Amino acid sequence: MKNELFEKYSVPKAVLTLAIPTMLSMLVTIVYNMADIFFVGQTGDANQVAAVTLTMPIFFLLMAFGSIFGIGGGSYISRLLGKRKIEEIKHTSSFSFYGCIFLGILGMIGFLLFMEPILLLAGASTNTLGFAMGYLTVIAYGAIAICLQNALAQIVRSVGAANESMIGMMMGTIINIILDPIMILSLNMGVVGAAWATVIGNTCAVIYFIYIIVKKNDVLSISLGDFKFEKDIVKNTFAIGIPASINNVLMSFSMMILNSYASAYGDNIIAALGISGRVFSVVVMLALGLAMGIQPFVGYNYAQKNYKRMNDAIKFAALIGITMGFVVMVITLAFSAQLVALFINDPSVIEIGAYILVIQVLVSPILGLQFIVTTVYQSLGKVIPSLILTVCRQGLVFIPVLVIGSSLFQLQGIIWAQPIADIFSVILAVSMYFFTYRKLKNSQVENISISLEDSIIKNNN
């Protein structure tokens, strides 16, 4: 159960042991996200690039289904691990596995039935609708694998098996990247080939995770015999999982709205947003990987009431996030046009894509703080703070800023909407965490005082 890592390792060593594999797996995921756009871009067709961009919100919805059980179940499992409740861990992991399959089936049916209106809402034009429908049809049939891959990676990580989680994510992504040029270019399948590569890669990752859980792990279970639909499991999984999944849902919804507003300026703008967004995802995924990496450590030490060790890990992770974001920002600012040009040879798309990218990366140094604090609240099982921070960045702030900005400043308002939302979300997240940690410290001092008073009374008696 790797208790030594949670309890004995120095904080920097423990954080790096958990976070580095997670960030590496996220880096591979970034390469995967870029690979689809890159190889589709090699077709020279901006409409196909735009089609992949338009379908990404649907992909995020499937990831949201997986997050309900991956983040929700994983958070509860980490706290159960801190309390040494092994049977409950088995029940929770089995519940998460089969619950994820059920939601994957619902997602598949929903996307197949309502595909065209969803894509039209997302901003598809007559030039891109056919490509987008071809891509989404394949993704819909692979919905179960996409949901499970996202969930199982986080569940395996929740018991400290960060390396195994990394290997599974890397395996799926590498297979995807190998298949992309074969299916998109050699077999001339275009965006449909990109979709098949994604589904096959995710399926291979799921098979690996099932093998790890069944053969290599004595804590987790996907046995139907361990499946329990118990109140505590459902409550703790959904209490954190649903707010966490709302982040992906809002990300999907906000991307659809963004594409819809941007579509008024032409398909090239959508293509530019898609490419710049893929490059900026380097910052987002690294920050997210860092935050997800410390989740088991935070949840475990919170359950053990070792708040200082927990807080030291959060501060160390925040320092890493700021440093990492600054380095990525400097590199991106220096080579923005060259980075966009890697994906498409269209001067108009390169020009606007580089401009969008420069604006996006300005928030890179502070972006990780928001992800870290959100993950901390998920680890602590704090439903309301987790929900507030989850809906803030992609919903409560972003959508109003996008609507008002586009009305007042047209395309500039659309481009600046996300960075403004990020700044506000970071300020809110940091402020909330300072308040929460002060409260935890005060409660710990009170408990120590009560224990001392009880000891004195017993000794006097």
> Backbone phi, then psi, for 435, in 5-degree steps?
-65, -45
Longest CA span, the chain: 87
pLDDT at residue 1, rounded to an integer? 45
Q: What is the CA radius of gyration of the chain?
A: 22
For the chain, the domains span 14-447
DSSP state of 344: -
* Backbone conformation region of residue 84, classed left if phi is above 0, alpha if psi is from -120 to 50, else beta: left
Amino acid identity of residue 72, one-letter, is G
SS3 state of residue 8:
coil
Distance between CA atoms of residues 122 and 184, nearest Å:
24
Chain segment 166-215, per-residue pLDDT in tens:
888 888 888 988 898 898 888 888 888 888 998 999 999 999 999 999 88
pTM: 0.67
Chain segment 230-276, per-residue pLDDT in tens:
888 888 888 778 876 776 677 767 777 777 788 778 778 877 887 88
- Per-residue pLDDT at 72 exceeds 50: yes
Quickly state the pLDDT bin for 460 (edges 50, 70, 90).
low
List Cα–Cα distances, 8 to 12, 304, 421, in angstroms: 11, 13, 39
Distance between CA atoms of residues 407 and 181, nearest Å:
41
The number of CA neighbours under 13 Å toward the Cβ of 352 is: 18
End-to-end CA gap in the chain:
43
Quickly state the pLDDT bin for 32 (edges 50, 70, 90).
low
Mean local confidence (pLDDT), 317-341:
90
* Backbone conformation region of residue 190, classed left if phi is above 0, alpha if psi is from -120 to 50, else beta: left
SS3 state of residue 43:
coil
Burial track 287-302 (b if 16+ CB lie within 10 A, e otherwise):
bbbbbbbbbbbbbbbb
Q: Which tokens hold the place of 143?
A: 């919905």
Contact between 320 and 367 (Cβ < 8 Å): no
Supply the mean pLDDT for the chain: 82
Residues in the chain: 461
pLDDT at residue 38, rounded to an integer? 73
pLDDT at residue 461, rounded to an integer? 52
pLDDT at residue 208, rounded to an integer? 94
Distance between CA atoms of residues 229 and 158, nearest Å:
20
Burial track 208-239 (b if 16+ CB lie within 10 A, e otherwise):
bbeebbeeebebbbbeeebbbeeeebbebbbb
Distance between CA atoms of residues 314 and 302, nearest Å:
12
